[in-house]
Amino acid sequence: MTSSSNQVNLCVNGCGFYGSAIYENFCSKCFSQRYPDKLNQIQQQRKRKRVIEETLPSVEEETVEEKELPKPKKIRCAYDTCNRKLPCAAQYPCKCGNMYCKYHRFITDHDCTFDYQKEHTQKLIENNPTIKADKVDFI
Ligand SMILES: [Zn+2]
Ligand SMILES: [Zn+2]
Ligand SMILES: [Zn+2]
């Protein structure tokens, strides 16, 4: 492989620094010593070029990310024929896991599937340890 483009040229003055093509293969130091006027010219040319490059309108790719905002889920009354939209203040969650409007919030207003009888008896036991205690025979 021959890569002449990447070849590093040392300063032709033999100072050990790298030479540059724009300095006629001298390093900038040696070049400035030999051609102080030329160096100024070159540096000003480069500066001007840089200014032009910097003032060029940079093409900014505007990546418009269309982020879809998650739409607030409209909560509706779970009652079959009702389907009312429920504002936050008027949501009545039922123990069956559904949300109802104020008209269908009660278990008697919708066919509630929650087993209230079971919960009722469980709560009775939980809240009344005496029920069990009653059965304990005191000796
Ligand atoms: Zn040099
Ligand atoms: Zn309803
Ligand atoms: Zn219910």
Distance from the alpha carbon of residue 71 to the mean position of ligand 2, in angstroms: 22
Q: Which strand (E) or helix (H) includes residue 81?
A: none
Task: Identify the domain boundary among 55, 75, 103.
Answer: 55
Residues in CB range of 37: below 8 A, 6 or more apart? none
pLDDT at 138: 58
* 127 found inside a domain: yes
pLDDT at 49: 83
Contact 20, 28 (CB under 8 A): yes
Domain that holds residue 25: 21-55
* 10 found inside a domain: no
pTM of the model: 0.37
Distance from the alpha carbon of residue 127 to the mean position of ligand 3, in angstroms: 23
* 31 found inside a domain: yes
Task: Identify the domain boundary among 55, 74, 102.
Answer: 55
Q: What is the mean pLDDT of the chain?
A: 82
Total number of domains in the chain: 2
* 28 found inside a domain: yes
Q: What is the pLDDT of residues 66-119, one digit of tens each?
A: 666 676 678 999 998 999 999 989 999 999 999 999 999 998 999 898 887 888
d(CA 45, CA 1): 35
